[in-house]
Amino acid sequence: MALHHVEDPESAVKKLAARLKPGGKILVIDWTPERIEGALKTHAASQTISKPKGFTEEETRNMFEDAGCKGMAWKLAEELSRIPVIDGLKSQLYFASATKE
């Protein structure tokens, strides 16, 4: 739930994957722009968010593959989640994992 705050998410995923042994798993839980309800407003932490709407399945797959991880599994949360710092905004969480080659 922090990758969208990272200035260079691709580099962060590569650094995390570099710490894995072959066969190790990387897991990302974050927002996806597939479903957003409410207005995306500015809030106190806005300056720390590099990807305010999160990542698509394709973007996540590309980050994993560029980091040497394959076989991505992708699952959307069944319900939208409320973003606590922005009243009224709900967004779709995703869970993605891949295996380091």
Amino acid 52: pLDDT: 64
Amino acid 57: pLDDT: 97
Structure tokens at 12: 């962060």
| Residue 3: its H or E element | none
Indicate the number of domains in the chain.
1
Amino acid 61: pLDDT: 98
Range of the domain at 39: 3-100
Task: Say which DSSP state 42 is in.
Answer: -
CATH of residue 9: 3.40.50.150
Mean pLDDT in consecutive groups of 10 residues from the start of the chain, 101 residues: 87 98 97 70 58 87 98 96 73 95 96
Cβ contact 93:79 at 8 Å: no
